[in-house]
Amino acid sequence: MSRNDTIAARAAHPATPSATAACMAAQAYLSRQPRRRSTGAVRAGGGPLYLLASGLVVDPLSRTGAGWQCRVLTDTQEWSVAATDIDVETAFAVSDLAAPLADVDEATYAIAWQARVRSLWPGPLVHHAARIIAEDLPRPQPRIVDLDPAAVRALLSGLGLLRPPGLLQLLAKLARSGLLAAVRAGDGDRWGRHRLSLPPLAASVPDTGGER
Protein backbone atom coordinates (compact mmCIF):
# COMPACT_ATOMS: atom_id res chain seq x y z
CA MET A 1 0.00 0.00 0.00
CA SER A 2 1.38 3.43 -0.95
CA ARG A 3 1.68 6.33 1.45
CA ASN A 4 -1.30 8.05 -0.16
CA ASP A 5 -3.39 4.89 0.11
CA THR A 6 -2.52 4.68 3.79
CA ILE A 7 -3.56 8.28 4.38
CA ALA A 8 -6.79 7.78 2.46
CA ALA A 9 -7.64 4.65 4.41
CA ARG A 10 -6.99 6.41 7.69
CA ALA A 11 -9.12 9.40 6.68
CA ALA A 12 -12.03 7.29 5.48
CA HIS A 13 -11.88 4.37 7.92
CA PRO A 14 -10.33 5.09 11.34
CA ALA A 15 -8.44 1.97 12.40
CA THR A 16 -8.67 2.11 16.20
CA PRO A 17 -11.49 2.65 18.72
CA SER A 18 -9.83 5.93 19.73
CA ALA A 19 -9.67 7.14 16.13
CA THR A 20 -13.27 6.08 15.53
CA ALA A 21 -14.42 8.00 18.60
CA ALA A 22 -12.45 11.06 17.47
CA CYS A 23 -14.06 10.86 14.03
CA MET A 24 -17.49 10.73 15.66
CA ALA A 25 -16.59 13.74 17.84
CA ALA A 26 -15.61 15.72 14.76
CA GLN A 27 -18.83 14.77 12.97
CA ALA A 28 -20.90 15.78 16.01
CA TYR A 29 -19.13 19.14 16.12
CA LEU A 30 -19.63 19.75 12.39
CA SER A 31 -23.32 18.91 12.70
CA ARG A 32 -23.68 22.03 14.88
CA GLN A 33 -21.93 24.32 12.39
CA PRO A 34 -23.39 26.38 9.53
CA ARG A 35 -24.16 24.43 6.35
CA ARG A 36 -22.82 26.07 3.21
CA ARG A 37 -24.86 23.92 0.87
CA SER A 38 -27.50 21.21 0.98
CA THR A 39 -26.71 17.63 0.03
CA GLY A 40 -29.13 17.91 -2.86
CA ALA A 41 -27.25 20.90 -4.25
CA VAL A 42 -23.92 19.05 -4.45
CA ARG A 43 -22.95 17.96 -7.94
CA ALA A 44 -20.20 15.66 -9.12
CA GLY A 45 -17.26 17.78 -10.19
CA GLY A 46 -18.63 20.73 -8.25
CA GLY A 47 -15.49 21.26 -6.15
CA PRO A 48 -12.96 22.13 -5.04
CA LEU A 49 -14.07 21.98 -1.42
CA TYR A 50 -12.01 22.17 1.80
CA LEU A 51 -13.16 19.52 4.29
CA LEU A 52 -12.95 21.08 7.75
CA ALA A 53 -12.13 17.99 9.84
CA SER A 54 -9.41 16.56 7.61
CA GLY A 55 -8.01 19.60 5.81
CA LEU A 56 -8.28 17.81 2.47
CA VAL A 57 -9.27 19.73 -0.64
CA VAL A 58 -11.54 17.50 -2.70
CA ASP A 59 -13.83 17.32 -5.68
CA PRO A 60 -17.02 15.26 -5.12
CA LEU A 61 -17.27 12.39 -7.61
CA SER A 62 -20.27 10.24 -6.76
CA ARG A 63 -22.78 9.46 -4.03
CA THR A 64 -21.92 6.57 -1.71
CA GLY A 65 -25.21 6.29 0.17
CA ALA A 66 -24.10 8.01 3.36
CA GLY A 67 -21.96 10.63 1.68
CA TRP A 68 -19.65 11.22 -1.25
CA GLN A 69 -16.62 9.60 -2.80
CA CYS A 70 -14.26 12.47 -3.50
CA ARG A 71 -11.08 12.98 -5.49
CA VAL A 72 -8.30 14.58 -3.44
CA LEU A 73 -6.87 17.57 -5.28
CA THR A 74 -4.03 18.67 -3.01
CA ASP A 75 -1.55 15.92 -3.79
CA THR A 76 0.70 15.00 -6.68
CA GLN A 77 -0.86 11.53 -6.93
CA GLU A 78 -4.57 11.09 -7.47
CA TRP A 79 -6.50 9.22 -4.80
CA SER A 80 -9.99 9.32 -3.40
CA VAL A 81 -11.54 9.52 0.03
CA ALA A 82 -15.02 9.05 1.44
CA ALA A 83 -16.69 12.13 2.91
CA THR A 84 -19.96 12.27 4.84
CA ASP A 85 -22.82 14.55 3.91
CA ILE A 86 -21.92 16.74 6.91
CA ASP A 87 -18.31 16.97 5.70
CA VAL A 88 -19.45 18.20 2.28
CA GLU A 89 -22.25 20.46 3.53
CA THR A 90 -19.93 22.32 5.92
CA ALA A 91 -16.93 22.46 3.56
CA PHE A 92 -15.99 25.81 2.11
CA ALA A 93 -15.27 26.47 -1.54
CA VAL A 94 -11.61 26.88 -2.49
CA SER A 95 -10.48 29.40 -5.09
CA ASP A 96 -6.73 28.75 -4.91
CA LEU A 97 -5.48 25.18 -4.50
CA ALA A 98 -2.01 26.42 -3.60
CA ALA A 99 -3.37 28.41 -0.63
CA PRO A 100 -6.80 27.02 0.27
CA LEU A 101 -6.97 28.90 3.59
CA ALA A 102 -5.82 32.27 2.27
CA ASP A 103 -9.26 33.89 2.02
CA VAL A 104 -10.90 32.22 5.03
CA ASP A 105 -12.28 34.57 7.67
CA GLU A 106 -11.31 34.19 11.32
CA ALA A 107 -14.60 32.61 12.41
CA THR A 108 -14.43 29.90 9.74
CA TYR A 109 -10.76 29.25 10.49
CA ALA A 110 -11.59 28.80 14.19
CA ILE A 111 -14.30 26.28 13.30
CA ALA A 112 -11.92 24.36 11.03
CA TRP A 113 -9.25 24.34 13.75
CA GLN A 114 -11.65 22.97 16.35
CA ALA A 115 -12.93 20.36 13.92
CA ARG A 116 -9.36 19.21 13.30
CA VAL A 117 -8.70 18.91 17.04
CA ARG A 118 -11.80 16.77 17.43
CA SER A 119 -10.83 14.60 14.47
CA LEU A 120 -7.62 13.63 16.29
CA TRP A 121 -8.77 13.09 19.90
CA PRO A 122 -12.03 11.80 21.35
CA GLY A 123 -11.40 13.13 24.87
CA PRO A 124 -13.56 16.09 25.94
CA LEU A 125 -10.84 17.99 27.83
CA VAL A 126 -8.82 18.83 24.73
CA HIS A 127 -12.08 19.82 22.98
CA HIS A 128 -12.91 22.27 25.79
CA ALA A 129 -9.39 23.69 25.66
CA ALA A 130 -9.62 24.10 21.88
CA ARG A 131 -12.91 25.99 22.20
CA ILE A 132 -11.46 28.39 24.78
CA ILE A 133 -8.32 28.95 22.70
CA ALA A 134 -10.25 29.46 19.45
CA GLU A 135 -13.22 31.45 20.74
CA ASP A 136 -12.44 33.14 24.08
CA LEU A 137 -8.79 34.17 24.21
CA PRO A 138 -7.89 37.60 22.79
CA ARG A 139 -6.09 37.77 19.46
CA PRO A 140 -3.04 40.08 19.27
CA GLN A 141 -2.94 39.18 15.56
CA PRO A 142 -5.13 37.01 13.32
CA ARG A 143 -4.84 33.30 14.20
CA ILE A 144 -2.41 34.10 17.05
CA VAL A 145 -2.97 33.55 20.78
CA ASP A 146 -0.80 35.04 23.52
CA LEU A 147 -0.66 32.72 26.54
CA ASP A 148 -0.05 35.48 29.05
CA PRO A 149 -1.06 35.04 32.71
CA ALA A 150 -4.65 36.16 32.04
CA ALA A 151 -5.03 33.66 29.18
CA VAL A 152 -3.56 30.84 31.26
CA ARG A 153 -5.96 31.67 34.10
CA ALA A 154 -8.88 31.64 31.65
CA LEU A 155 -7.87 28.19 30.40
CA LEU A 156 -7.41 26.78 33.89
CA SER A 157 -10.75 28.25 35.03
CA GLY A 158 -12.56 26.93 31.97
CA LEU A 159 -11.07 23.46 32.33
CA GLY A 160 -12.04 23.05 35.99
CA LEU A 161 -9.76 20.75 37.95
CA LEU A 162 -6.85 20.81 35.49
CA ARG A 163 -3.67 22.18 37.09
CA PRO A 164 -0.83 24.07 35.32
CA PRO A 165 1.31 20.94 34.67
CA GLY A 166 -1.68 19.22 33.07
CA LEU A 167 -2.44 22.27 30.94
CA LEU A 168 1.16 22.42 29.77
CA GLN A 169 0.93 18.74 28.80
CA LEU A 170 -2.27 19.38 26.85
CA LEU A 171 -0.76 22.36 25.00
CA ALA A 172 2.34 20.30 24.20
CA LYS A 173 0.06 17.64 22.68
CA LEU A 174 -1.47 20.25 20.35
CA ALA A 175 1.99 21.52 19.45
CA ARG A 176 3.36 18.05 18.68
CA SER A 177 0.47 17.49 16.30
CA GLY A 178 1.22 20.75 14.50
CA LEU A 179 -1.96 22.53 15.62
CA LEU A 180 -0.14 25.10 17.76
CA ALA A 181 3.05 26.63 16.37
CA ALA A 182 5.19 28.77 18.67
CA VAL A 183 5.97 32.22 17.30
CA ARG A 184 7.43 33.59 20.53
CA ALA A 185 9.01 31.59 23.33
CA GLY A 186 7.59 31.71 26.83
CA ASP A 187 9.34 33.25 29.82
CA GLY A 188 8.33 32.72 33.45
CA ASP A 189 4.57 33.07 33.82
CA ARG A 190 4.18 33.95 30.15
CA TRP A 191 3.76 30.75 28.14
CA GLY A 192 4.56 32.21 24.77
CA ARG A 193 2.69 33.29 21.68
CA HIS A 194 1.31 30.62 19.36
CA ARG A 195 -0.29 30.37 15.93
CA LEU A 196 -3.37 28.23 15.40
CA SER A 197 -2.14 26.02 12.56
CA LEU A 198 -3.88 23.63 10.21
CA PRO A 199 -1.19 21.30 8.84
CA PRO A 200 -1.89 18.89 5.98
CA LEU A 201 -3.51 15.60 6.98
CA ALA A 202 -0.29 13.59 6.73
CA ALA A 203 1.46 15.94 9.17
CA SER A 204 -1.45 16.30 11.58
CA VAL A 205 -1.22 13.05 13.48
CA PRO A 206 -2.55 12.56 17.02
CA ASP A 207 -0.18 12.43 19.94
CA THR A 208 -0.69 9.06 21.64
CA GLY A 209 0.46 10.15 25.08
CA GLY A 210 -2.85 9.67 26.83
CA GLU A 211 -6.43 10.58 26.00
CA ARG A 212 -7.89 13.77 27.38
125-177: pLDDT as tens digits:
999 999 999 999 999 999 999 999 999 999 999 998 789 999 999 999 999 99
Q: Give per-residue burial for 43-67: e unless 16+ CB within 10 Å, then b.
A: eeeebbbbbbbbbbbbbbeeeeeeb
Report whether pLDDT(15) > 50. Answer: no
CA distance 152 to 199: 24
91: closest CA among 117, 121, 59?
59
What is the pLDDT at residue 212? 53
Q: Which of the residue ranges 16-20, 37-41, 83-87, 183-187 has the most confident prediction, judged by mean pLDDT?
A: 83-87
What is the pLDDT at residue 76? 67
Question: CA–CA distance from 4 to each of 175, 179, 206 (Å)?
Answer: 24, 21, 18
CA angle 135–138–144, rounded 5-degree value: 85
Residues sharing a CB contact under 8 Å with residue 17, sequence separation 6 or more, in sequence order: none
Quick check: 94 and 49 in contact, CB under 8 A?
yes
Does pTM top 0.85 for this prediction?
no
SS3 72: strand
Predicted confidence (pLDDT) per residue in 49-68, tens digit: 999 999 999 999 999 888 99
Please count the CA atoms within 13 angstroms of the CA of 171 that sit on its side-chain side.
Answer: 26
Question: CA–CA distance from 68 to each of 51, 57, 160, 182 (Å)?
Answer: 12, 13, 40, 36
Report whether pLDDT(2) > 80. Answer: no
